[in-house]
Amino acid sequence: MIATLLQLDERAAGAKFWRFIICVALAGVFQGLVLGSFIAVVYALFIADRHAALIGCLCLLAGSLVNGILQSWVTMRGFNEAMRIMVVMHRRLGEQLVALPLGWFTSRTTGFASGVAVRGTLFVAQTVMDLLVPLIINIITPLTIALMSLVLDWRIGGMLLAGAPLIWLAARWGSRRNAAGQEQLHVTSRQTDTRLLEFIDHQMLLRQAGLSGPGSKGYPPLTEAVDRQWQATVKALWSSVLGLIAQSVVVQGIYGLVVGVAVWLTLSSQLDPVWAVVLIGLGAQFIGPLKILSEMGTAFKRAQIELNDVTRLIALPVLPEAAVPHAMPARYGLSFEHVAFRYDKNAPWLFRDFNLAIAPGSLTALVGPSGCGKTTLTRLVARFWDVNLGRITLGGEDIRQLRHADLMNAISLVFQNVYLFDDTLEANVRMGNPEASEAQLQAVADLACVTEIVNRLPLGWHSPVGEGGRLLSGGERQRVSIARALLKNAPVLLLDEATAAQDPLTGMAIARAINTLKGRATVMVIAHQLNTVKAADQIVFIDGGQVCEQGTHQQLINRQGRYARFWHSHISPPPMRHNEEIFP
Ligand SMILES: Nc1ncnc2c1ncn2[C@@H]1O[C@H](COP(=O)(O)OP(=O)(O)OP(=O)(O)O)[C@@H](O)[C@H]1O
């Protein structure tokens, strides 16, 4: 675990951490000396030297006091070290999260990342704070005591020292037994967390399906996850108990042997009874810390598993950046050239040889059946994922050769699932361009039909929108996000069903606003309400991973092909036959 922590902390001085470990080890040696020094008092009492016993007692008292101060100091240092390690973990995770491709972020992966960033890092830091110092001290102290015993009697001291590797082997065996159980417990707890979040988030659906609420039969995936976690807990408990028993047996066995040998040596006159008592006392001091040590194993194993998640997240491949990024182009035409893409190496190809050119400053509408890959195309432009073959260019430059920050600067994205920050209406729109003037803010509000929201709310622009924008309707949230995108005034605008939640009149008004961007921005729109994209410079009908038809609305209608059929069914859906039932 220490090695993993040091790897994480490559930039911070590893030497600082080692210095801290050495200080703790020295504190352990001092504690061993203090604990062992009681022998002087016992010896003085046995030989009835009251003066020496008194001095011994005073020394013991002073030693205990210094030891207490020393222990508090290393504990404080441990706290500082734990905080520093937590900051390092947060920094590394922060750097990693902003460098991951946007396509990595799904509800499952964000749940995992937030669990690691919040709970995992805290658990690791707490382990360092609460357990690392005691761990080192409880190893060093008994070793010091064993060495003191060696000086007093090589046979007893030798036995204690020889016992150390046996105890270590027992601890290792216990920890290995425990590892699989703890790992399983960790996995099942994370699965339960996910199911629990799903259960909380989707109460409406579950209640409708009779899977939640009073008298319901419950939500099976959640109950199964809880059952699995319970089984894993019992298994982990047993494996840790067996490990603890093994360690305890070895530690107690060594002590029993030490007592037996001391008695035998005394009875056979090979050892002074006074020294025998002293050595048996030292033996008891030797096993005390070791017993505590064996109880720490489980907590360390859990911290190691949490730390593994931190390192796993940090090791994920980030979005590749060009070693020498190209300068941003002067014009912003988009081009898909022989693009092949699939989501996963086992998934079918979504595009094999996709080609499409979008002129700078033009408005292109992507149309096609559900699942043909329209959203995927817009996300490929923003490098949510990189294409497997071929390339996408912006102004003739492969987007992978541009600095990602520059590319994101040049793009405004509006997706169907809008998120607004828990701030005012104005702050949410201004996110697009914090420097925008009042006039610019008002202009985009008019274009995106946000002005009527501003006028309706009592606090106007200063109205809070609530977490995620929950104080606004779905359509209103969408309009705010369009205003935000317009205010950014980026040369490329990608709109994925951005007007889906609008009533027809507002949808058309926003479509007209987007049309005004022609000549100023390259716009790619996905719209299921086809009348909102009638005025596009080109409409591209996609199916089977290919461009099937391409042209203006009128050209495609005249062609009487796929788009024309799509348009007619959209404008006037085929009437339901008489007696036709929706649910046969
Ligand atoms: N993150 C993802 N991982 C794996 N497959 C995905 C992912 N996103 C989309 N797909 C798959 O890719 C295909 C195309 O999806 P996409 O959302 O691009 O289609 P679309 O044309 O925009 O559909 P719609 O019109 O219904 O929104 C679908 O079959 C979908 O299952």
What pLDDT shows up at residue 465? 92
Mean pLDDT of the chain: 85
Q: What is the pLDDT of residues 231-250, one digit of tens each?
A: 999 988 888 788 778 888 88
Q: Is the pLDDT of residue 580 over 80?
A: no
CATH 1.20.1560.10 spans which residues of the chain? 2-314
Contact 399, 451 (CB under 8 A): no
Q: Which amino acid is at 101?
A: P
Q: Is the pLDDT of residue 213 over 80?
A: no
- What is the C-alpha to C-alpha distance for residues 512 and 524, in angstroms, rounded to an integer? 15
Q: Which helix (H) or strand (E) holds 337?
A: strand 334-341
Task: Round to whole Å and give the CA distance between 361 and 475.
Answer: 27
Q: Count other C-beta atoms under 10 Å from residue 439's C-beta.
A: 7
Q: Which amino acid residue places its CA nearest to atom 2 of ligand 1?
A: 343
pLDDT in tens, 112-142: 888 888 888 888 888 877 788 888 888 888 8
DSSP letter for 577, please. Answer: P
**Residue 549 pLDDT class (50, 70, 90 cuts):** very high
Mutate to test the pocket of ligand 1, among 106, 108, 375 (most ligand atoms within 8 A of CB): 375
What is the rounded distance in angstroms from the CA atom of residue 361 to the CA atom of residue 359? 6
Does the pLDDT of residue 583 top 70, yes or no?
A: no
The verdict on the CB of residue 350 being under 6 Å from ligand 1 is yes
From residue 205, alpha-carbon distances to 171, 212, 416, 498 in Å are 49, 9, 20, 25
pTM flag (> 0.95): no
DSSP secondary structure code for residue 518 in this structure: T
In this predicted structure, the answer to whether residue 502 has a pLDDT above a threshold of 50 is yes
Nearest to 399, CA basis, from 343, 335, 338: 335
Pocket of ligand 1 contains residue 366 by CB under 6 Å: no
Q: Which atom of ligand 1 approaches the CA of 368 most closely?
A: 21
Q: What is the pLDDT of residue 294?
A: 66
What CATH topology corresponds to 2-314? ABC transporter transmembrane region fold (1.20.1560)
Task: Write out the two tokens for 332.
Answer: 């912003």
**Which atom of ligand 1 sits closest to the CA of residue 366?**
21
Q: What are phi and psi of 475, to 5 degrees?
A: -65, -40
> What is the Å distance from ligand 1's center to 571 Cα?
25
Whether the Cβ atoms of residue 450 and residue 480 lie closer than 8 Å to each other: yes
What 3-state DSSP class applies to 537?
coil
CA of 548 relative to ligand 1 center, distance in Å: 18
Q: How many CA atoms lie within 13 A of 300 on its CB side?
A: 21
pLDDT bin (cut points 50, 70, 90) of residue 300 is confident
ipTM surpassing 0.90: yes
Inter-CA distances, 210 with 197, 215, 227, 518, Å = 18, 9, 21, 51
- pLDDT at position 487: 93
Given a cut of 90, whether residue 439 has pLDDT beyond it is yes
Question: Residue 536 and residue 163: Cα distance in Å, rounded?
Answer: 83
What's the distance, Cα to Cα, between the start and end of the chain in Å?
63
Q: What's the rounded mean pLDDT across residues 192-201?
A: 85
pLDDT value for 441: 94
Tokens coding 394: 């912006």
Residue type, 8: L
Structure tokens, 264 = 């035998």
pLDDT band per the 50, 70, 90 thresholds, residue 501: low
Ligand 1 closest atom vs CA 344: 4
User: 371 in ligand 1 pocket by Cβ < 6 Å?
Assistant: yes
Is residue 415 left, alpha or beta, with left meaning phi > 0 and alpha meaning psi from -120 to 50? beta
User: Does 92 sit in the ligand 1 pocket, CB within 6 Å?
Assistant: no
Q: In what order do the strands lie in the sheet with 546-551?
A: 411-414, 492-496, 522-526, 363-367, 538-543, 546-551
pLDDT tier at 9, thresholds 50, 70, 90:
low
Residue 516 backbone phi and psi in degrees, to 5: -70, -15
Question: Token pair for residue 355?
Answer: 């080609």
Output the pLDDT for position 332. 92
Running DSSP on this structure, what letter comes out for residue 388?
A: S
Q: What is the 3-state secondary structure (H, E, C) of 122-166?
A: HHHHHHHHHHHHHHHHHHHHHHHHHHHHHHHCHHHHHHHHHHHHH
Fold of 334-570: Rossmann fold (3.40.50)
pLDDT of 184 over the 80 cut: yes
pLDDT tier, 89 (very low <50, low <70, confident <90, very high otherwise): confident
159: how many CB neighbours lie within 10 A of its CB? Answer: 21
Q: Is 524 exposed, middle or buried (0-12, 13-18, 19+ CB in 10 A)?
A: buried
Task: Tell me which DSSP letter residue 211 carries.
Answer: S
DSSP string, 500-512: TTS-HHHHHHHHH
Q: What is the pLDDT of residue 116?
A: 87
> Can you name the residues that pair with 522 across neighbouring β-strands?
492
Given a cut of 90, is residue 498 above it in pLDDT? no
Ligand 1 test: best mutation among 107, 110, 341, 343, most atoms within 8 Å of CB? Answer: 343
In 3D space, the residue among 314, 390, 381 whose CA is nearest the CA of residue 355 turns out to be 390
Whole-angstrom CA distances from 139 to 134, 314, 337 are 8, 32, 64
* Three-class SS state of 561: coil
Q: Please list the residue range(s) of the chain that carry CATH number 3.40.50.300.
A: 334-570
